[in-house]
Amino acid sequence: MKTKGTIGIIIAALLAIVLLNSIYILDETKQAIVTQFGKPVGDPRTEPGLNFKVPFLHKVQFFDKRYLEWDGDRNQVPTKDKKFIFVDTYARWEITNPLQFFIRLRDEKSAQSRLDDILDGETRNAIASHDLLDIVRSTNRDPEITEEFMEELEILEDITVGRAVIEKIILEKANERTTDLGVRILDFRFKRMNYVDEVRDRVYDRMVSERNRIADQFRSEGQGEARKIEGNKERDLAQIQSEAFKLAEEIKGKADAEATNIYAAAYNRNRQTIDLYKFVRSMESFEKALDENTSLVLSSDSEFFKYFKKLN
């Protein structure tokens, strides 16, 4: 009985192993193909759920169904107008035919390496076929002028293609080379572009020279404006001083005339007052010097008779 029970357990375990080896679950983010001795069997499995295969004989290869990332290397590339630049790119791609993908590339690592060759090659070809302006600009719009000095800068040259069109050309050319690989490139973009060190230094020197020219122009205009302000100040100052001197002389003349009139009036008034005072004092002297019993014999030239003479 124990032997039969043990055999039953072994058989059940073997059946469980066989059953587990004959089913697999396909996640909604995955797609798969079944292989036998390294060769694909049947159609690709793309629907999520429970699937079956021949146990121990079939193997399942899973591939991602989602959008995948490709990040290119930073490469030095010459443009059509002989400008050397560093170009950094990126793209998004997906596996559209897992069977063809498995036959041609086997796995995602090989696919990334193949995309390196395709996208880097098409990027080099596109950049070498276009001028630098077409690579860094997308439109011919006029630059926005936010400061007056920007009006003196050079007008931007027109482009014939533009960066967006070049990216589209690279995408189309690359997809033509991936049709038999079971993949499709969804999007391609330039992530970063920059001059090589030697060219960048020359560009920086040119920018510094341009800014120095603008600064010199500002300084020249400022000095001219300062001289103009200084001249206007001297002219206004001379005019103000002349008018002030004229007004001061006029006021001084009026004051002198008024003072003369005051002096003259005061002199005339004081003389009459003095004569009156002297007359009153003389009369008082007569009153004090003479009484009813006093008699004086005076000459006609006497001071006592001076005022009587004037009255006559």
Domain edges within the chain: 2-64, 68-195, 229-312
Tell me: domain 68-195, CATH 3.20.20.140, correct?
no
The percent helix, strand, coil of the chain (3-state, each to 5) is: 55, 20, 25
What pLDDT does 269 receive?
A: 58
**pLDDT tens for each residue of 139-174:** 877 666 665 555 555 566 778 888 999 999 999 999
Cα gap 77→132, rounded to integer Å: 11
**pLDDT tens for each residue of 26-48:** 888 899 989 888 788 888 888 88
Query: Based on C-alpha coordinates, what's the Rg of the chain?
Result: 59
**Residues in Cβ contact with 169 at an 8 Å cutoff, skipping those fewer than 6 apart:** 126
How far is CA 39 from its chain centroid?
60
Cα gap 43→29, rounded to integer Å: 18
**Residue linked to tokens 């995309």:** 115
In Å, the largest CA–CA distance within the chain is 200
Average pLDDT over residues 98-109: 90
What pLDDT does 267 receive?
A: 54
Q: Give the residue with greater pLDDT, 224 vs 201.
A: 224
CB atoms within 10 A of CB 114: 16
Q: Give the residue with greater pLDDT, 183 vs 23.
A: 183
What pLDDT does 210 receive?
A: 78
